């Protein structure tokens, strides 16, 4: 059974601070990991993808992957009120024909 675990929150962070979101996964065969942002009533939007151990930076976002610990994280620097949303962590184990396994999401609130 593939599982992705996230703290549901809410996680409250002051504007301008760093928001840290965490995720663990159970399937050691997982190859790729994704962070999606989802606003209420909307479809998920891809924020970051990461495939190998270490850090990957894109603008204000940094994804971190540690396959030995089965741990994925997302850092958001200089948090803005518009970053307030639910962040979904997802893992992918297949070769193109498998769906993603999603965590339940962390609700992030950026306080102005």
Partner 1 sequence: GAVVSQHPSWVICKSGTSVKIECRSLDFQATTMFWYRQFPKQSLMLMATSNEGSKATYEQGVEKDKFLINHASLTLSTLTVTSAHPEDSSFYICSATAHNEQFFGPGTRLTVL
Q: Which residues are near partner 1 by CB under 8 A?
A: 32, 34, 36, 41-46, 49, 88, 92, 96-105
- Nearest residue (CB) to partner 1, 71 versus 102: 102
- Nearest residue (CB) to partner 1, 20 versus 93: 93
Whether the Cβ atoms of residue 100 and residue 2 lie closer than 8 Å to each other: no
- Nearest residue (CB) to partner 1, 57 versus 78: 57
Strands (E), the chain: 4-5, 11-14, 19-25, 32-38, 45-50, 54-58, 61-66, 71-76, 85-92, 101-102, 106-111
Shortest Å distance, C-beta 3 to partner 1: 11
């Amino acid at each position: 059974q593939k599982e992705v675990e996230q703290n549901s929150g809410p996680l409250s962070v002051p504007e301008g601070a760093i928001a840290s979101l965490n995720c663990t996964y159970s399937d050691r065969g997982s190859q790729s990991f994704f962070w999606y942002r989802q606003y209420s009533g909307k479809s998920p939007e891809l924020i970051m993808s990461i495939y190998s151990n270490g850090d990957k930076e894109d603008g204000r976002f940094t994804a971190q992957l540690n396959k030995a610990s089965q741990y994925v994280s997302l850092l958001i620097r200089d948090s803005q009120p518009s970053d307030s949303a639910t962040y979904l962590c997802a893992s992918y184990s297949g070769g193109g024909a498998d769906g993603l396994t999603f965590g339940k999401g962390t609700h992030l609130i950026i306080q102005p």
